[in-house]
Structure 1
């Protein structure tokens, strides 16, 4: 039974040049109708797939904090109406932009039981922020994180990006230094991936996007891993680092290949062995919920072979790797029964290593993760 729920708010005040998530400009959108449709989807989903008490909730986007106070309040009340969880035990995360959070909004979130904030910082360099289409600046981050602490938030995460256009290793090192000075609990550091249907994709096709070389990007990743460990942030997943006890429990749901609810336009869910994707366009989402109660675009029954593959390529993202015992308990077969050849080949390449309890990426394997994951797809 699913213990986690994801809620998608697809509205943004500004569309970033690299973003391919399901999002639209906030102004001129049927925001209230969308939130009402989300509430209907919550109701119908819980009726169809009854929930026990949830352990994690995650509100992402888009930019959830772009909602106005009344809209935010309605949305939070909708969650409480349909999902059960203990405010003392749950991890309740809200994504936020550093320049869109007033003290009033922070207080509303805190009073509603939100206990974890995830800020899309990306970089502290104002020239790079402008170049990637972000509207906030360095000072906004410093002020908003201070404000969040003042309101009482004790679990704060930021996202950083590397491999940005014309970004140097020195600039990324400066970003890390500032991040460590903020005294926060969690840092995600991702490399820029150029996705279709983004501003950056169009620029790249025209030869107008100057990116660091693969070697420079690898140096930035190596630097992130080295510096994080030095400053007390333990790498627990390829791109995620946390102080002890502050790993993202919600994201571990995905990497542990566990089931979860997904509410909202473009959201994905994994319930009773079926992966479902919701329609992405806002108006289409509202229409489908009104007409049928569910906004599903597609549903896929995950076969046993696919479950085993997912267990491997999701689990290998974690620093600890894939648990041999858990795999055996789940599928009645050992990892070596199913993937012995692939494991042996990747170990021979120096990309995987094996302990008594787990199979995991080596240091070099982390740099070539996608290549390793590919070895476990379609081979059963």
Structure 2
């Protein structure tokens, strides 16, 4: 309510409920939550992409029906892997059977846009195991697959084990092989790679994800959510109790508020845009900033092209196949360039 009043909009293109799994809510809570979305936001249910994130073992038939009736038209399941031994090792509570059962149920109820997240580079995961995961994913006949490499965050169990030398991770070379295999197999099975980690059947690219990579604006509502409105990035307080407390006291739960400078906007345009397979539009950059991309980042573009990590067409600048494997190195070049 406060967000909409403070930053009014007459148009919503996408709704994404997740980051955390909203499906842990009980039926009554879920119903109340969905009613509040309709109470405070104006959108056409036939035009908006309305995604719910879910754990495969948290969606009953009743919950799925409630979501469908409420206009949710896209489901995203945090599968990670279909291998039960790996699921157990990474602390996930669902198993292979849960995934198969829930996706079959979702299809039966009429969901026609289903996505799953897979992970590679997991502790003790082999290339053969990841290949098996891909095969099962393709057999599900779904519309969208995300495949992310494991990122070890500080202060996590994996981080502590890694520091003690007790975490058996695939080598960088093995992880690169897994990524190459994902790209190769997705193409064979009709999933177009439209972003570094995301693959979709034609017309099923995630519009919500593309909002981020096109460097467009979005609301962020809830504990730990991030938003980008009016050239300002805001990060909300994460612990739920502290979040509620702060909202009640001040109306807004911000942990950080950052006014993005033009220089930072240009950097973001590059390192977000280069995540997309089509790359950064030279025309869009010019229209947005009144300068050509070469005026601002000429040196970095030339250097990365020289290394074989970037290529340029008449309309776009994009990562090469090798550039996708070394994406972070390329993105860093544009942050460094704008500092000169």
Q: TM-score, normalised to structure 1's length?
A: 0.88
Find the residue that maps to 1:318 and give its secondary structure.
Answer: coil
Deviation per CA, 1:158-217, whole angstroms, max 9, x where unpaired? Answer: 000001111110000000000000000000000011111211111111211100000000
Per-residue CA deviations over 1:269-328 (Å, capped at 9, x if unaligned) read 101110011111111110111111110112111100000000000000000000000000
SS in 2 for 1:376: helix
Pick which of 211-220 and 190-199 moved more.
Answer: 190-199
Provide Cα deviations, 1:96-131, integer angstroms capped at 9, x if missing partner. 011110000000000111000000001111111111
Aligned-partner Cα distance in 2 for 1:128–1:291: 44
CA RMSD of aligned residues (A): 0.6
Q: Which runs of 4+ in 1 moved over 6 A?
A: none
- SS in structure 2 opposite 1:314? helix
**Cα offset, 1:61, TM superposition:** 2.6
Normalising by structure 2, what TM-score?
A: 0.98
Once the 2 structures are TM-superposed, how far is the Cα of residue 256 of structure 1 from its aligned partner? 0.2
Q: What is the SS of the residue equivalent to 1:266?
A: coil
Match of 1:309 among 254, 267, 270: 267
| Equivalent position SS for 2:147 | strand
Q: Following the alignment from structure 1 to structure 2, what is the Cα–Cα distance between the partners of residues 281 and 136?
A: 24
Equivalent residue for 1:259?
217
1:339-350 equivalent positions in 2, closer than 5 A: 339-350=297-308
Q: Does 1:183 align with 2:141?
A: yes
Partner of 1:283: 241
Name the stretch that deviates more: 172-181 or 290-299: 290-299
Higher RCO (CA 8 Å, separation ≥ 6 residues):
1
The size of the alignment, in residue pairs, is: 335
Between the aligned partners of 1:48 and 1:123, the Cα distance in structure 2 is 41
Q: Does the residue aligned with 1:133 lie in a helix, a strand or coil?
A: coil
Unmatched 5+ stretches in structure 2: 336-340
Asked if 1:196 is matched to 2:154, the reply is: yes
In the alignment, what sits opposite 1:212?
Answer: 170
For 1:44 and 1:169, the matched residues in 2 are separated by 48
